[in-house]
Amino acid sequence: MRALQSYLPVFSWIGQYSRQALSRDLLAAAIVTIMLIPQSLAYALLAGLPAQVGLYASIVPLAVYALFGTSRTLSVGPVAVASLMSATALGEVAAQGTTDYLLAAAVLATLSGAFLALLGILRLGFLANFLSHPVISGFITASGLLIAFSQLKHLFGVSAGGHNLPQIIGSLVSHLHHINVYALVTGSAVIAFLYWSRGGAGRLLQRLSVPAHTAGLLSKAAPVVGVIATIIVAIAFNFEGKQVALVGAIPSGLPSLHLPHFSWDLVRALTVPAIMISIIGYVESVSVGKTLAAKRRQKIDVNQELIGLGAANIGSGLSGAFPVTGGFSRSVVNFDAGAETQLASVFTAVGIALASVFLTPFLYYLPKATLAATIVVAVLSLVDFSILRKTWRFSKSDFLAVTITIAVTLLFGVEAGVSCGVAASIALFLYRTSRPHIAEVGLVEGTEHFRNVKRHEVVTDPQILTIRVDESLMFSNAGYLEDRVYGDLAANRRVKHVILMCSAINEIDWSALEVLEAINERLAEQGMQLHLSEVKGPVMDRLQSTGFLQHLSGKVYLSQYRAFVDNRSTDTAQTVAA
Amino acid sequence: MRALQSYLPVFSWIGQYSRQALSRDLLAAAIVTIMLIPQSLAYALLAGLPAQVGLYASIVPLAVYALFGTSRTLSVGPVAVASLMSATALGEVAAQGTTDYLLAAAVLATLSGAFLALLGILRLGFLANFLSHPVISGFITASGLLIAFSQLKHLFGVSAGGHNLPQIIGSLVSHLHHINVYALVTGSAVIAFLYWSRGGAGRLLQRLSVPAHTAGLLSKAAPVVGVIATIIVAIAFNFEGKQVALVGAIPSGLPSLHLPHFSWDLVRALTVPAIMISIIGYVESVSVGKTLAAKRRQKIDVNQELIGLGAANIGSGLSGAFPVTGGFSRSVVNFDAGAETQLASVFTAVGIALASVFLTPFLYYLPKATLAATIVVAVLSLVDFSILRKTWRFSKSDFLAVTITIAVTLLFGVEAGVSCGVAASIALFLYRTSRPHIAEVGLVEGTEHFRNVKRHEVVTDPQILTIRVDESLMFSNAGYLEDRVYGDLAANRRVKHVILMCSAINEIDWSALEVLEAINERLAEQGMQLHLSEVKGPVMDRLQSTGFLQHLSGKVYLSQYRAFVDNRSTDTAQTVAA
C-alpha cells in the first residue's frame, strides 16, 4: 500500500475524502473552469495552434496529474511561457496552420512528458536546481515582454511574426499600414476592462454587498465577461465582414486519444526544445506547488512531481495537444477558492470537456484580439525588472547572470535565453569557487583563536606560514591554492613550516589531493614541512584512504593552536599589527 | 620597465645573462635539437602532415615563446595528443595530402593561438581549472592508446584510418592481408631498441665510464640513432623497391612566413576543435611549466603563459605548420641538460632551422615505420590506468568522471572524450554541492560546543531545531536546504525556534537568499522564529545589503551557544543519546 501511495499519491488522500471536501472541490472547479476556458484558447493562439487544442490540453492532462501528482491544489494546463517556447520550437519544423504543425505539437508534448517522467524515475529532480533563481526571474520577465510584443499583431489586426524582439518589432512595423481599427479598439477595450477588473470590479461588487473573498474570486471571471461581450459586439458590428480576425469554426467534441504518428527526424529536431520546455515548466510548477503545499504544511515530492507532470504531458500528447505544466495564477485561484484535493482538477477537466462539446459553436465570432488582450494582461504581470536592482546590490555575479539571460532572451529568443542563463549561472558559480577566500592567519594573543593577519592584531612566527582556505578543495580551485602557497613562499624565504588550516574544508577531491601531494613533495625537497590542522571527519576519512598521510612531511593536528605551538620557534615570535 | 617585463618576460632575465648560462643553454639546446628532430617528423606524420611541417613547427614557435613565455625551461613544439587532435579536426575539413589540408592545419594553429592569446589578455587562465586532474589523466591515457593503435598501420605497412578505437581496429583488420614484412621488421626492431635504450643503453654507457648523468642524457638520442640506422638499412635493402612507405622527398629550406589564406567557412568549422586543442595543450604545458619552475623556486604566470603559447601557435600558423605546446619529455630533458633560460629554446630553433636546410635530403629513405615506432614508445609511457584504481578508492565521483572520459575517448574519439570529461566533472561537482552535508546539532553538555545529534551525546530542546549546513548556500543547494528544514519541521511539531548555524557557510547567493526569505516567512506564518548563528563576516555584509535582516523573525547570534541558551525552555530540555 505504501509503495502504491508513493507511485499513485492519489491513494494517500482518496480514502479519507469527505462530503465537505467534495463541496469545496466542486466550487473551486467551477471557478477554475471559467478562468481556464479563455486561458486555454489564448495560449493555444500563442502557441500558433487552433483554439480547440487549448481546450484539449486542459482535459486529460488535469485528470492524469490528479492521479500521479503530489500537490493537492496545483492546476495543470497550458501556460504562457511554455506556449511561447512551443511556438518557437514548432516554427522550426512546420508552418502554422498545417497538420504537420499539429502533429509536431503532440510529439513535442509527448517527448517533454517522456523526458520529465524519465528524470523522475531516475530521481534526478535535483537537476532543476541548476537554474538559479535570478536566471528564472530574468527569463520569465523577458519572456513576458516577448509574449506581450508577440500579441501586438493580433491587437493591431495585422499578420506579423518573429521569435525575438528585433524580429517582432521589425515585422510589426512593416505591417503597420494594414492596421485594423476594429481589432485595435476591441483589444484595447478588453485590456482596459481587465486592468479595471483587478481593483475596480472587486470594489464594485463589495459595494453591492458581496463579501470581499467572493468578490475577489468573481473578479477572476473578468476574462470570460470580456469573451462574451466581444462575441456579442463582433456579431452586432459584423466583424466578419470587416476583416477582423475571429477564432472561426471549431470542431465540437472531445479529443481522440492516440499516440502521435512520429518520424525519427521530427523526434530529433524536437528533443532539445522538449527538454528546455520541460525544465522551465517543471521549475515553474514545482515552485508554485511548494509554495501552496507549505501554506497548509503539506509536502510535495520533487521526483514524484516529475512523474506527475511527465504523465500529464504524455496525456496532452495523446490528446493531440501541446506541452502543459502547473500554472501560477490558476493554482492560486484554485487554492483560494478552497480546493482541498486533486478532485477539484478532475471536476475542472469535466467542465472543460463539457465546454468543448457544447460551447465551441459560440466561439466562432470571438475576436482573436480579445484573446491577445487577455494574454497581454496576464503576462505583463510576470514582467518584473526589480530583480536587476536587487541583485545589483546583493551580488554582481547574480546580476551578471540575470542581465545576460534577459538580454539574450529578448535579442535571440527563448531557447538561447535559457541556455545562456544556465551556462552563465554555472560558469559564475565555478568562477566563484575557483577563487576561494584564502587568508594567512595568526594567533590572537592570550587566546587559542586564529584570525586573518590582515584584519587583526595577531602573533605570527616568521618560520611558520599558516593558511586558511574558506572553501572545499576541488579541481576548480586546487590550482589557485597551489599558486597562493608558492607565491607566499617566494615572498617569505624564512618559512620552515606550512600549516594548512582546514576548518572550512568540507570536501576534497582527487585533483585537490594531487595538488596537496605536489605541495608536500615540493616543500620536502626544500626542507620545509607541510602540516594540516582542524581537518573535518569526512575529509580525514578520505585522506586516510590514500597514501597521502604516510608521505606527509609534517603532522595532522586536531587544533590549529597545537600546530602553531608545536612548531613555534619562541625566540623569533613577533607581533603583526593589522 | 615593469610593464614591459610583464608583457615580455624575456626582459626579466636577459639583463643578467652570464657566460656560464650561455654555455649551459648551448649544451641543452644541442641535446634537445637531437631529440626534437625525430619527434617533429613523427608528430607531423601523426597529424597527417608532410614531414617538413613538423620541422617548421619547431622553429618560429620556439623563438616566439622565448619572448613571451614565463617558463625559463619549457620546450615548445609539436606534441602527441595535440597532433592526434589536429588529425581528427583536419580530417573533417580536408583530405590528407591535399593543399587544403595544409592550409587547414595552419588556420587551426592560428585560431588556436588567437584563442589562447585572447584568454590570456582577458586573464581567463582560471578556466583551465575546470578540467579536473582525473579527467586529464584519463584523457591522456586514452589518447595515448588511440595514438599507439593509429600507428599500427605504419608498422604493418598498410593504409588504414579511423578516429576512434573501433574504427581503427576495423580498418586495420580489413587491410591486414597487405601487410609489409620489411616495414613490420623495421618498426619492431626500432621499438625493441628504444625500449632497451631506456635502461640498457645507460648501463652500457656507464660501463664505458661515461658519468651517469651524461649517460642518461645521451640515451635520449636513441631515436636519432634509430633514424640513422634505418635510413642506412632502407638504402642497403632497397626498401623503395619493396613498397615500404618512406618519408620521401622533402623540400629543403625555411618556412616562409605569411598569414594563411582562410575562408570563414573554414574558420567556423575549425573553431571548436581549435578551442579544445588549445585548452588541452595549455593544461599540459602549464603543468609541466609549474613543475619545473617550482623545482628552482621560480614562478610562472598562468595568464602570461596563455599569451606565450598563443603567440607560439600564431607563429606556427604563420609558418604554415600546426598546433604546438609545451612538451613534457622534451622540457624535462632541457631542464636536466642544464638549460637556464629560454635562450636554450632559441638555440634549439636555430638547430632545427639548420636541420631543415641541410638534413632534409638525407631523410628521403627514412621508413615511416621508424617514426611510428618512436611515436608508439613515446605515447605508451603516457598510458597509465592506475588512475582508475586510485580514484575508485578515493571518491566514486572522480572515478565516474575518469571512466566516462576514457570510455568516450576510446569509443568516440578525442573531441567527444574531452567534452564529456569536462561535462562530467562539472556535473559531478554540481551534484556534490547540490547535496551538502546538513546536520542537526545539539549542545555537548558542560561545554559551549555543538555537535551532530546522530554522532554525539548532546543536549537538545524539543522547541529548538538547530541545523548546521556544511557548505556555502548557493542556487545548486538552496532547494535541498528548504526541503530539509520543512521535512524536519513536519517530523517535529513542537518546534518554536529554528536556528541555522552558519559557521561553514562561506558564501551565499541570491537564490539562497530567496530561500531563506521563504523559510523565514513560512515559519513566521506558523508562529515560529528563524535565527542565524555564527555568520561569517562577508556573508553578514551581504545579508546587510538586503532587507532580509529587518524581516528576520528571530535574531542573529554571534555564537551558537548564545542562540541556544537565549531560546531554551529550561523545563523541557532533554538529553539525546547518540
- Chain B residue with minimum CA distance to A400: B510
| Nearest beta carbon to residue B129 from set A477, A486, A526 | A477
B238 phi/psi in degrees, rounded to 5: 50, 55
Cell of B121: 589578455
The more confident residue out of B101 and A436 is B101
Note whether residue A13 is domain-resident.
no
Residue A223 grid coordinates? 476574462
Residues 74-133 of A with CB under 8 A from B: 126, 128-133
Residue B390 and residue A546: Cβ atoms within 8 Å? yes
Does residue B75 lie within any of the structural domains? yes
Residues 6 or more apart whose CB falls under 8 angstroms from that of A400 comprise A424, A428
Angle between helices A343-358 and A19-46 (to 10 degrees): 50
Q: Are residues B199 and B100 in the same domain?
A: yes
Using a CB–CB cutoff of 8 Å, tell me whether B541 touches chain A. no
- Cell digits of residue A221: 471571471
Domain final position from B426, B459, B491: B426
Task: Give B571's pLDDT tier (boundaries 50, 70, 90).
Answer: low
Per-window interface: B 517-536 vs A, CB < 8 A? 518, 522, 525-526, 536
For residues B365 and B449, state if they share a domain: no
How many angstroms separate the CA atoms of B506 and B473, rounded?
A: 8
- The span from the CA of A293 to the CA of B510, in Å, is 23
Do A429 and B474 count as a contact with CB atoms less than 8 A apart?
A: yes
The pLDDT score that the predictor gives to residue B136 is: 85
> In this structure, is residue A9 part of a structural domain?
no
B509: contact with A, CB 8 A cutoff: yes
Q: Which three cell numbers stand for residue B255?
A: 618556412
Cell of B360: 632534409
Residue range B41-50, pLDDT digits in tens: 999 999 999 9
> Distance between alpha carbon B59 and the CA centroid of its chain, in Å?
24
Please report residues of A whose CB lies closer than 8 A to that of B299. 486-487, 490
**Is B470 in the A-facing interface, judged by CB distances under 8 Å?**
yes
Q: Give B 472-501 residues with CB within 8 A of chain A.
A: 472, 474-480, 482-483, 486-487, 490
Chain B nearest-CA distance from A548, in A, is 11
Q: B436: how many CB neighbours lie within 10 A of its CB?
A: 22
How many structural domains does chain B have? Answer: 2
Per the CB < 8 Å rule, is A435 touching B471?
no
Q: Taking the model in full, what pTM does it have? A: 0.73
DSSP B93-138: HS-TTSHHHHHHHHHHHHHHHHHHHHHHHTT-GGGGGGS-HHHHHH
**Does residue A197 sit in the same domain as residue A227?**
yes
Contact residues, chain B, for A398 at CB < 8 Å:
509-511
Query: Best interface-test mutation with A: which of B506, B534, B546 has the largest number of A CBs within 10 A?
Result: B506
Q: Is A510 within 8 Å of B394 when comparing Cβ atoms?
A: yes
User: Among the three residues B360, B394, B426, which one is the final residue of a domain in this structure?
Assistant: B426
Closest residue on chain B to A540 (Cα): B394
Residue B576 confidence (pLDDT) above 70: no
Q: Distance (Å) from the C-alpha of residue A165 to the closest C-alpha of chain B?
A: 27
Q: Which run of H or of E encompasses A77?
A: strand A76-77
Q: Which residues pair with A529 in a beta bridge?
A: A497
Q: Do B546 and A398 touch (CB under 8 A)?
A: no
| B96 touches B46 (CB < 8 A) | no
Whether B447 and B571 share a structural domain: yes
Which of chain B's residues have a Cβ under 8 Å away from the Cβ of A536?
470
Check B129 against A475: CB less than 8 A apart.
Answer: yes
- Check whether residue A211 and residue A187 sit in a common domain: yes
Is A199 at the interface with chain B, CB within 8 A? no
Is the separation of the CB atoms in A74 and A289 below 8 Å? yes
- Residue B28's Cβ-count burial label (10 Å; 0-12, 13-18, 19+) is buried
pLDDT at A2: 62
Mutation test of the interface with chain A: which of B389, B476, B548, choosing the one with the most A Cβ atoms within 10 A? B476
pLDDT tops 80 at residue B575: no
Give the per-residue pLDDT at A324: 96
Sort B512 into a burial class: Cβ within 10 Å, 0-12 / 13-18 / 19+: buried
A509–chain B nearest CA distance, Å: 7
DSSP string of A320-373?
A: T----EE-HHHHHHHHHTT--STHHHHHHHHHHHHHHHHTGGGGGG-BHHHHHH
Assigned domain for A10 exists: no
| Chain B residues with CB-CB distance to A397 below 8 A | 509
Looking at the fold, whether A310 and A421 belong to one and the same domain comes out as yes
Chain B, 421 to 440: residues with Cβ < 8 Å from chain A are: 425-426, 429-437
Inter-chain residue contact A504 with B506, CB threshold 8 Å: yes
Is A541's Cβ below 8 Å from some Cβ in B?
no
Residues in chain A, pLDDT under 50: 573, 575-578
Q: Residue B277: which residues within 8 A CB-CB, separation 6 or more?
A: B82, B85, B86, B89, B108, B112, B323
Residue A147 exposed, middle or buried by CB count within 10 Å (0-12, 13-18, 19+): buried
Domain assignment present for B495: yes
Q: Name the percent of chain B in helix, strand, coil, to the closest 5.
A: 65, 5, 25
Place of cell 635502461: B199
3-state secondary structure A92-142: HHCCCCCHHHHHHHHHHHHHHHHHHHHHHHCCCHHHHHHCCHHHHHHHHHH
- B17 domain residue, yes or no: no
Identify whether B4 is part of a domain. no
Q: For residue B543, give the CATH number of its domain.
A: 3.30.750.24
Please give the Cα distance from B288 to B301 (Å, whole number).
Answer: 13
Cell numbers 485595435 label which residue? Answer: A184
3-state SS class at B554:
coil
Pick from B126, B513, B525: CB nearest A434 = B126
Instruction: Tell me phi and psi for residue A230, to 5 degrees.
Output: -75, -25
Residues 255-314 of chain A with CB under 8 A from chain B are 290-291, 294-295, 297, 299, 302
Contact: A394, B126; criterion CB under 8 Å: no
Contact in structure between A71 and A229 (CB atoms under 8 Å) = no
Structural contact between residues B113 and B315, judged by C-beta atoms closer than 8 angstroms: yes
Report the alpha-carbon distance of residue B140 to residue B400 in Å, rounded. 16
Looking up cell 577566500 gives A437
Does residue A149 sit in the same domain as residue A287?
yes
Contact B82, B280 (CB under 8 A): yes
Containing structural domain, residue B464: 438-576
Contacts of B302 in chain A (CB under 8 A): 479, 483
Nearest to A235 by CA among A275, A276, A186, A171: A186
- Within this chain, do residues A178 and A202 fall inside the same structural domain, yes or no? yes
Q: In this predicted model, what pLDDT tens digit does every residue of A49-93 receive, in sequence order?
A: 999 999 999 999 999 999 999 898 999 999 999 999 999 999 999
Q: Are residues B487 and B560 in the same domain?
A: yes
Of A132, A474, A510, the CB nearest to B391: A510
- Other C-beta atoms closer than 10 Å to the C-beta of A412 total 17
On whether the CB atoms of residues B316 and B62 are closer than 8 A, the answer is no
Chain mean pLDDT for chain B: 88
Contacts of B390 in chain A (CB under 8 A): 510, 546
Yes or no, beta carbons of A129 and B470 under 8 Å apart: no
> Is residue A157 located within the same domain as residue A254?
yes
For residue B449, give every residue at least 6 positions away whose Cβ sits within 8 Å of its Cβ, in sequence order, or none.
Answer: B443
Longest C-alpha distance within chain A, in Å? Answer: 102
pLDDT at B578 over 50: no
Look-up of cell digits 626544500: A526
Q: Which residue in chain B has the smallest CA separation from A511?
A: B133
Q: Return the number of other C-beta atoms located less than 10 Å from residue B309's C-beta.
A: 33
How far, rounded to the nearest angstrom, does the alpha carbon of residue A66 sit from its chain's CA centroid?
22
Residue A162, C-alpha cell as written in the block: 518573429
In 3-state terms chain A splits into helix, strand, coil percentages (rounded to 5) of: 65, 5, 25
- pLDDT score at B3: 67
Determine, for residues B490 and A299 on separate chains, whether the beta-carbon distance falls below 8 Å: yes
Residue A257 and residue A355 share a domain: yes
Domain boundary at B426, B459, B474, which?
A: B426
* DSSP 8-state secondary structure symbol assigned to residue B255: P
> Has residue B570 got a pLDDT over 70?
no
**Whether residues A170 and A298 fall in one domain:** yes
Burial of A261 (0-12, 13-18, 19+ CB in 10 A): exposed
Q: Is residue B7 part of a domain?
A: no
